[in-house]
Amino acid sequence: MRHDIEFNTEDGVILRGWFFRAQGVEGHAPTVIMAHGFTATREIFLGDFAEVFSAAGMNVIVYDHRNFGASDGTPRQHVDPWAQINGYRDAITYAQTLPEVDAGRIGVWGSSYAGGHVLVVAAIDRRVKCVVSQVPLTWGFESARRLIRGDHWAGLRAAFDGDRAARARGEPGALMPVTAPEGQPCALPTADTYDFFTRFAAEHETAWKNEVTLHSIEMFTEYEPATYVARIAPTPLMIVVAAGDHLTPFDMTARAYEEALEPKKLVVLPGGHFEAYTGKPFAISSAAQRDWFKAHL
């Protein structure tokens, strides 16, 4: 049902992932392109969503962002949102070359940080015919100000400037943990982030690494995908939010949804940010997403 794939970005970086063949479909089928959030790799529950979509008659391409997991790219562990957006567009181009794919029926799916990416991709690339954005980052600067204590902000800004100067001297960029126990410096300082990633890494084989470039954090603070949301229409948009989310907060995502034009749909899940990937929230969400793609692809 699944096989390995690889494709080139426009600037020559090889991205690697999986292709899930649409079940019960002869010839061309609609196709969903999926990638994960901030530093996450494809094996962290994305296959579960892909299997739901595949069983409903859709091809699915799941891949690792450049600089992460099985994909090439340097510097490793560096999250450049605009390079990742271009990765989605390269994945669309690749999908359109495959004999199993109906080139006119391609959807995009993203979660968390990539949930923001697909808002941008759907707004600027009309090859996208349907989009699902799950627990997305919407406004980077506001999100960062909520996550980072006010008295730490000046020190972080100074660290950004120092890291930029070091890179200009040809030194490698600084790294920091993605997540850490409470009170220790990290990129995503919430207890549920630490629990989710450390538990997954302990229980599964994974390519995920608990490190990210400091430059990635600076780029996070400058990234505002919600500013594109009003341009998505007439492409059908589903946004999935978690009522208890404090990593990509509910109120910010709901505000972005209000700025979107029809056709659109909001799905509200119980629990927090990471519960969207498993258990009852996953069952609710994956079914709603499947039906949205089926209706519009």
Q: State the DSSP string of 118-143.
A: HHHHHHH-TTEEEEEEES----HHHH
pLDDT tens, per residue, the chain with 297 residues: 899 999 999 999 999 999 999 999 988 999 999 999 999 999 999 999 999 999 999 999 999 999 999 999 999 999 999 999 999 999 999 999 999 999 999 999 999 999 999 999 999 999 999 999 999 999 999 999 999 988 989 999 999 999 999 999 999 999 999 999 998 999 999 999 999 999 999 999 999 999 999 999 999 999 999 999 999 999 999 999 999 999 999 999 999 999 999 999 999 999 999 999 999 999 999 999 999 999 999
| Structure tokens that stand for 275 in this block | 């519960």
Which residues are within 8 A (CB) of 203 and not within 5 positions of it... i.e. 6 or more apart? Answer: none
Identify whether the C-beta of residue 132 lies closer than 8 Å to the C-beta of residue 240: yes
Identify whether the C-beta of residue 4 lies closer than 8 Å to the C-beta of residue 16: yes
Q: Is 80 left (phi over 0), alpha (psi -120 to 50) or beta?
A: beta
Which residues face 15 on adjacent strands? 7
Q: What is the pTM of this model?
A: 0.97
**CA atoms of 165 and 73, how far apart (whole Å):** 22
